[in-house]
Amino acid sequence: MFQSLETCLEKYVPPEELGHVKRILYGKQLEELQLPELCTNNKENVEVKGYKFDSLVEELREKRIVRVGLIQNQIVLPTTAPLVEQRNAIYKKVGQIISLAAKANVNIICLQEAWSMPFAFCTREKFPWCQFAESVENGPSTTFLKEFCKQHNMVIISPILERDERDIIWNTAVVIDNLGNVIGKHRKNHIPRVGDFNESTYYMEGNTGHPVFETAFGRIAINICYGRHHPLNWLMFGLNGAEIVFNPSATIDGLSETLWGIESRTAAVANSYFSCAINRVGTEIFPAEFTSGDGKPAHKEFGHFYGSSYITAPDGSRTPGLSRTQSGLLISEMDLNLCRQIKDHWGFQMTQRLDLYAKSLDTIVNSTK
C-alpha cells in the first residue's frame, strides 16, 4: 500500500530538485526536533516525527513556546471482539503513545475523532455501537485520560461519542486540562451525509457554538472532522481568539484525500493561527454488510482511513504528514507569538470586512425563512 507522499518524493525526486518541490508543497523548511531515543525507536512500532516552527525574536514579549502532539492510531482488536476488550485494547495502545509524547515534553495532545471505538457510523446499526457512548465528565475515557494529564502536566483533547444526561448522543471533543479537570467540551457543528458517512443516524448537529478554551499553554479550539469543509467554521474559532485549532477526523481515501492537505492549511493562513489535522488510520471491517443508497454493492468495510496527520503554522508552512498506514505521533514545537506576527505582516484581520459579510449573511438567512 502507498505509504505517504513524502516517502514517494524522497524516493523519486532528484535531490537537487527535492528542496524546491518541498518549498512549494510545504513552505519554508522546518527544523527536525531532536527527540529522545526511547521516543523515536519505540517498541510499540509507533511512527514518531517532530518539527520546529520558526518565529521572530521580539523585544517586548517573551517567546510562548508550546509542544503539541497529534496521535493517529489503528484499532487493535477485530470489531467482533467484546466491546470492553476492544476499548481496553485501544486504551492500552493510546496510553503507550501518550507516554511517548510525555518523554518528548509535549504540552497538548489531541486524539483522533471517536478515538476509543471503531468508527462504526457507516453501519447505521444502533446496537452494539451506541454502547460506546459515555459521559463527558466521568465516562471511562475521561477517567482514563485524567491521570495522564495530572502525571505529565499536559492538556488532552479527547473526541468521544457522548451520551448526555437525557440519553441524547453527540459527537463531542472533551478538553481536560493539565490538572486533570474537564474544562469544557465542543460538539460537532457539521454532520456529514455523504457516501457511507451515515452519522446523522446516531447524532445531529452540535449546540455548543465555537468555544475557545483558555489553557496553561494557550487558547485552543476544536473543529471536529467534517467542519473542516466549512470555511466559516474555521473563521469563527479565529474570531473567538483561538491560537491553535485542532481538527480530529476520520476520513477515507476514496472520498477526501485530495482535499486533506488543503483545507486545514488554508484555514491556518486565512485565520492566522496554528491548525492541526488528525486523521484515523487503518481499515476497519464490520460483522454485517451495509449499504448507503449510493448504488454500490453491500460491503463490510468503510474504506481506508489514510492517517497523514499534519500541522500548519499561520505563515502557511506545514510539517510533512504521518504515514497513511501506521499508528503515529506527530510533535511540533511552536511559538504562539507567530500568530500576531503574521497578523501584523499580512493584515488579513485588519482588512476583513466582517460588516459586509454580516449584512449579506443576514439578508440570505432571512430570505430563506
Q: Among the options 110, 225, 276, 339, which is catalytic?
A: 225
Q: Is 188 a catalytic residue?
A: yes
Q: Is 113 a catalytic residue?
A: yes
Q: For strand 274-279 and strand 310-312, is the pairing parallel, antiparallel, or unpaired?
A: antiparallel
Query: What type of residue is 255?
Result: L
Distance in angstroms (rounded) separating the CA atoms of residues 109 and 119: 20
From the number of C-beta atoms within 10 Å of its C-beta (0-12, 13-18, 19+), residue 165 rates as exposed
Nearest to 171 by CA among 186, 155, 192: 186
3-state secondary structure of 6: helix
Residue 168: count of CB within 10 angstroms of its CB:
11
Ramachandran angles phi, psi of 218, nearest 5°: 130, 175
Distance in angstroms (rounded) separating the CA atoms of residues 318 and 326: 20
330 with 311: CB under 8 angstroms?
yes
Q: Is 6 a catalytic residue?
A: no
Distance in angstroms (rounded) separating the CA atoms of residues 245 and 219: 9
Q: Among the options 134, 188, 276, 284, which is catalytic?
A: 188
How large is the greatest C-alpha to C-alpha distance in the chain, in angstroms?
Answer: 63
Active site residues: 113, 188, 225
